[in-house]
Amino acid sequence: RGELYNDDPVLQDARLCGTTASLCGLEASLQAKDPARIERAIQKILMLNAYLFIQSGIPVIYSGDEIGQVNDYSYKDDPDKAVDSRYLHRGEFNWSLAPNRNIADTVQGKLFHALDHLEHIRSSHSVFDTTADLRTIDTWDSSILAIVRENAEEKFIGIYNFSDQDKVAWINEDDGMYTDLIPGRELEAKGVQIPAFGCFWLCRRKK
């Protein structure tokens, strides 16, 4: 759920406003009280953040994203803000939800600790330094993106499934076993089966 910004009816051009959680379906899923849809929305949010976290530079989490904050429609009641739909994702931080980050089975707990886990992984591997080489490799599926980061010590492959279907990333790296840094399991970087909206952070030490 989001809203258009600077919508041009002639050029059919516009920007999209909304919090990450609402744009990924969490708001609608919570209102529907559908556990399966809620989990799917959480998976989308985490996948997109995992994509953000492997980019070079400093990743920035928008305030409220760490607890799954949804759109704030109250801006429409303020004459000074009502004309600017960007206030949809500029609502005040929802402090009433913040304590839930310490409760593992809540939306806030799942998002907060998963993002914290990604942060710790990123800070403990040199392959995320800005000096690492960066390239993509073909997955033979337009809905799957595979990004390689590599330096003298490590080789990293981030695989992202932007589809709502389980897929196979048809990569074929012949250089040994990798560790998926997120769950800590080992696997080959060949014909990787990846769930809908899933992501893998595969890493191999060279020495």
DSSP 54-78: TSSS---PPTTGGGT----GGGGG-
- Using a 10 angstrom Cβ sphere, with 0-12 exposed, 13-18 middle and 19 or more buried, the burial of residue 35 is exposed
pTM of the model: 0.91
Instruction: Specify the length of the chain in residues.
Output: 207
Span 93-115, average pLDDT: 96
CB contact at 8 A, 122 and 116: no
> Could you give the CA distance from residue 165 to residue 23 in angstroms, rounded to a whole number?
19
> Could you give the CA distance from residue 36 to residue 193 in angstroms, rounded to a whole number?
21
- Per-residue pLDDT band for 117 (boundaries 50, 70, 90) equals very high
Q: So what's the pLDDT on residue 72?
A: 95
> Could you give the CA distance from residue 165 to residue 203 in angstroms, rounded to a whole number?
25
> Could you give the CA distance from residue 73 to residue 115 in angstroms, rounded to a whole number?
26
How many other CB atoms are found less than 10 A from the CB of residue 58? 6
> Could you give the CA distance from residue 120 to residue 93 in angstroms, rounded to a whole number?
24
6 pLDDT higher than 80: no
207 pLDDT higher than 80: no
Token representation of residue 190:
């060949």
99 pLDDT higher than 90: yes
